[in-house]
Structure 1
Amino acid sequence: MKSKRHTKILEIISSKEVETQEELAEELKSQGFDITQATVSRDIKTLKLIKVQAQSGKSKYVVSSGEERNIVDRLSNILSNTVISVENIDKMVVIKTISGSGSAAAEAIDNLEGSDIAGTVAGDNTIFILVRSLEKAEELVSKIRKRI
């Protein structure tokens, strides 16, 4: 649940100017998360979010410089914590995850480097990935299996 919440926090701050922890908590609550301001505070610390001045003059949360790689590493950890199985059928890779983790795992997969993914579709617990060649599909399955 924490990794799903962290992914959602990153999504929220990349699409909106969130100025306070309370605003972030309200945004998470509106998206179905049962969360307290104290949990949001810990998440902000864990994700190493900082406040910067937005174009509007207000402050907003962003991922601190140099942390982008760390975020990719965290997304990769999502794979090891949520993926149940992975297989390729020709150029299609099918991944089964624990319930409710399909989108978070798909985000992590989309951030894998050099995988030659044409497109990803995620459901609640299943991800379909179209890869550009059979060879690349097999490489992607191998990469994911190493992480899980």
Structure 2
Amino acid sequence: MKENRHSIILDIIKNEDIETQEDLADRLRAKNINVTQATVSRDIKELNLIKTLSHTGRYKYAQVNTNNNSTISALAYIFSNTAISVEKVDKILVVRTITASAQVAAEAIDSFKLEGIAGTIAGDNTIFILVRTDEKAEELKLEIEKLIK
């Protein structure tokens, strides 16, 4: 059942510009697949879907290439083009991004496997990065600033 739903999701995002989880859930329901927002959210994570800019200038879901090196390169590119600023507050870094891109930018940060990061939390346009030490937070801030520029 899950595999079938995943296959249908991939088909939908390949053929349509799906901007939100709600849009995706609606498209699935139109195909007689009952889903909750939580199920759609898990499916998006399991399928490694990210939001990318469509040719219309709006965001849409797309699948990340599963080749690890190309994925990291793509995420680095996305991060550098969506992150706006970084601020250090004690051992927390606050990264501001363009609207609707914080989650993919946080995924990029996680994929870099930077030393000293305890974890990341992303909203719509803000990422909180908890760093283990104040010194490491300052180092990471400088690294992130370089990526943004």
What TM-score bracket applies, with the shorter chain setting the length?
0.5 to 0.7
Look up the SS of the partner of 1:100 in the other structure.
Answer: coil
Structure 1 residue aligned with 2:132? 132
Q: Does 1:72 align with 2:72?
A: yes
CA contact (8 A) 1:103 1:122 kept: yes
Residue type matched to 2:128 in 1? Answer: F
TM-score (norm 1): 0.59
Match of 2:11 among 22, 26, 41: 22
* C-alpha RMSD over aligned residues: 2.9
Unaligned runs of at least 5 residues, structure 2 = 25-53, 55-61
Look up the SS of the partner of 1:96 in the other structure.
Answer: strand
CA contact (8 A) 1:115 1:139 kept: no
CA contact (8 A) 1:18 1:24 kept: no
Structure 2 residue aligned with 1:141? 141
Look up the SS of the partner of 2:112 in the other structure.
Answer: coil
Q: CA deviation at 1:69?
A: 1.3
Q: CA deviation at 1:145?
A: 1.1
Q: CA deviation at 1:132?
A: 0.4
Structure-1 separation of matches of 2:16 and 2:137: 37
Q: CA deviation at 1:23?
A: 4.8
Unaligned runs of at least 5 residues, structure 1 = 1-15, 36-42, 50-62
Change (3 A) 1:27 1:121: farther
Look up the SS of the partner of 1:114 in the other structure.
Answer: coil
Structure-2 separation of matches of 1:27 and 1:18: 14
Structure-1 separation of matches of 2:16 and 2:135: 42
Structure-1 separation of matches of 2:95 and 2:145: 10
TM-score (norm 2): 0.59
Structure-1 separation of matches of 2:68 and 2:15: 25
Structure 2 residue aligned with 1:97? 97
Structure-2 separation of matches of 1:21 and 1:119: 29
Structure 2 residue aligned with 1:118? 118
Residue type matched to 1:114 in 2? Answer: L
**How many residue pairs are counted as aligned between the two chains?**
106
Residue type matched to 2:75 in 1? Answer: L
